[in-house]
Structure 1
Amino acid sequence: MTHRFRDDEDKFIVEESKENFETWTSKDFISSEIRESIKSASILIVPTIGFREPNELTFPIGTEDFFQYIKENLPENFTIDFCINDDDYQELALYSNYRRLGNFLVTTVALSVFLNLLSSYIYDKAIKEDESKPPIQIINIDNSKHQTIINSTEETKLPKKFLEAPKVKFSITVVDRNGTSKDFHYEGPAKDVKNITEEIKKLWDNESK
């Protein structure tokens, strides 16, 4: 069953999944040397397959930074890892209004901790950074038809997209102890992520009952 929740800004999709830790760690691009170790992870960061070229494995730019943030803040009884061989790891920069965080496999027991850290990361890296940018104003110089965006403290020109609220995009596959899973996809304003993570917790809790 697929549930779609969408308004003018948010896109939140919940659907059944056939993917779990077993299916991902069994893929042919995973070497036998790392297969067993990543199977025991609480959280796996999984690549996008074939975004530009068939079978190409990529992660969003900034994934390494996200990994380090989660790893440093996870309780000792949880672990996070990449679902890829070290030599195959590559990040792909896509220039758009969205901060792409990636695709994640998460066990039921790690879900609440992961969602809290995800929300905190987005606040620190997207919302707080956006709020810390210098104030701006739009002025019209000499009755020109063209508006100029001016930094009111440094008097430097800023791009138009500076005015846009930060947006994020991510997918989380939650897996229970039996391998049953569900996908949660979010695409929308960073400011709404806290509400989205609470909704994910609630929907998964209801699913697990």
Structure 2
Amino acid sequence: MINYWFRLWLSSKSDLCLKITQSINTKTLAVSYKFYYWEIEMSAMDIEEIFIVEDSEVSLKKLINDAPAELAAFLKDKSVVILPSHGHDDLYYTGTLDTLDFLNENGINAEIYATDDDYKELELRGADIWLGTFIIQIIVLPIFVNVVSSYIYDKIKAKSDDNISLKLMVENKDGKTSAVEFRGKVENLEKAIDAAKGFCNED
């Protein structure tokens, strides 16, 4: 089981905004602020691998229908949408904007499920790699896994013994979604990638 130690500093009202940093969305050059400061320590000795393959009720159509009009307009033609981080409704891992830029620069039409004003990051301490949750149209899945693999191994140069966390939700042409969740060593990530690729054979 993964053990976490969360420390949210609340010694005074000002500490709620103890660390305010800026994130630039390159699409609009709008500035959003991160008002959440969490410190998370994770010991590699305490990590037990998580590998889950399951069906999901999430769909791009539902996400677009539930989104504010401003956001829905951006999402309509997207093949990949980055969703909030595991266990949160509106927080994204630090580096999500870099991931988004890399996807778009490499031929993936992607967007984050948040407006510029609503975008907030969950800052994590340590060397672990937290990529987040992606919902992907199956037609772009082969390209997506290649681009994500390039991001992991070439861009951020992950090592085999690094810890990584991601969730891939793949929507087929009928609107059915299957998901793969993986948390563990980079050296074992390939089985999660292979499981996601396997959804193409089911379509």
What TM-score, normalized to structure 1? 0.67
Quick check: 1:25–1:83 contact (8 Å CA) kept in 2? no
Q: 1:71 to 1:170 in 2, by over 3 A?
A: same
Q: Trace 1:63-102 onto structure 2 (pairs within 5 A).
A: 63-74=96-107, 78-96=108-126, 98-102=128-132
Q: 1:122 to 1:49 in 2, by over 3 A?
A: closer
Q: Which runs of 4+ in 1 moved over 4 A?
A: none
Q: Percent identity?
A: 28
Q: 1:22, 1:129 → 2: CA distance?
A: 34
Instruction: Provide the residue aligned with 2:202 in structure 1.
Output: 207
Q: 1:185, 1:23 → 2: CA distance?
A: 21
Instruction: Provide the residue aligned with 2:55 in structure 1.
Output: 16
Q: 1:50, 1:108 → 2: CA distance?
A: 24
Give the secondary-structure state (helix, strand or coil) at the position aligned to 2:175.
Answer: coil
Q: CA deviation at 1:120?
A: 1.1
**RMSD over equivalenced CA pairs, Å:** 2.3
Q: CA deviation at 1:125?
A: 4.3
Instruction: Provide the residue aligned with 2:138 in structure 1.
Output: 108
Q: 1:166, 1:197 → 2: CA distance?
A: 17
Q: For the pair shown, which has the larger CA radius of gyration, 1 or 2? A: 1
Structure 2 stretches of 5 or more lacking a match?
A: 1-46
Q: 1:129 to 1:185 in 2, by over 3 A?
A: closer
Structure 1 stretches of 5 or more lacking a match?
A: 1-7, 132-164
Q: Trace 1:27-66 onto structure 2 (pairs within 5 A).
A: 27=66, 30-48=67-85, 51=88, 57-66=90-99
Q: CA deviation at 1:130?
A: 4.8
Q: How many residue pairs align between the two structures?
A: 157
| Structure having greater relative contact order (Cα 8 Å, sep ≥ 6) | 1
